[in-house]
Structures are given as C-alpha cells and as structure tokens.
Amino acid sequence: MTTEKTIAEKKKPETKGAKAHNYELLYIIKPELEADALDAVVSKVNQLITGKGGTITAEDRWGKRKLAYPIKKFSEGTYVLTKFSMAPQWSRELESSLRITEEVLRHLLVKIES
C-alpha cells in the first residue's frame, strides 16, 4: 500500500512551491499591424506571463525583419524577445495560448539554464 501511494504522488505535477525557471520567448508578429495593435499584442503576451505569477526581466523589440521562408503568406514579421521567470507548470499553457493567438506567426520558448 505504501508503494501505491508513492507512485501516485510521483504522478502529481508540482503546483505549490515549484521553483521558477528562467525562460526566453522569441515570437514573430504579423508585419501588417500598426504600432497600437503591435503594443496590444505585446501587452497581451506579457499579461499571459504575469497572469500566471511570472515576472518579466527584459523585453527587446527587434522590429520588422525578413523571414527565411514564408509563414502564412508573410515574407517578413516583427520580432519580439522577452526574458522572464515563471513556474514550469505554466509553460505549456503559455505555449498553447500563443499558438491560438492569430497575430503571432511563430514562437519559440526556451528554458535558460542557471
């Protein structure tokens, strides 16, 4: 009976007391957006991070750049790099939210080793 309990405990994801990991998020936004709409998308992504208890340490807007290959019929996009820390269990939810955000063409979330 003790063995069954330890196996069940191991399957539970850590939700409380989980140490925050450092991440870098690079995402490409549609190039056709005006400055106000671009600010709204960046604000929305930042809200996704901070809404789950994450803290943003840096944000760098790289501007419009030519893409290596067309993505959704766009040949260029606006790049944004955000560095933040967040509990690891929220990273999947963040990525799924980015996938369904229409203005985001592509994203890459990387865990930074400390």
Alpha-carbon span 39 to 72, nearest angstrom: 21
Query: Can you list the alpha helix ranges (DSSP code H) found in the chain?
Result: 2-11, 35-50, 91-100
d(CA 33, CA 20): 33
Tens of pLDDT, residues 52-66: 889 999 999 999 999
pTM listed for this prediction: 0.80
Lowest mean pLDDT among 3-12, 23-32, 55-64, 95-104: 3-12
pLDDT score of 40 more than 60: yes
Domain formed by 21-112, architecture: 2-Layer Sandwich (3.30)
Listed by start position, the domains of the chain span: 21-112
pLDDT at 6: 46
**Which pLDDT tens digit goes with each residue over 71-83?**
999 999 999 999 9
Secondary structure, 3-state, 5-22: HHHHHHHCCCCCCCCCEE
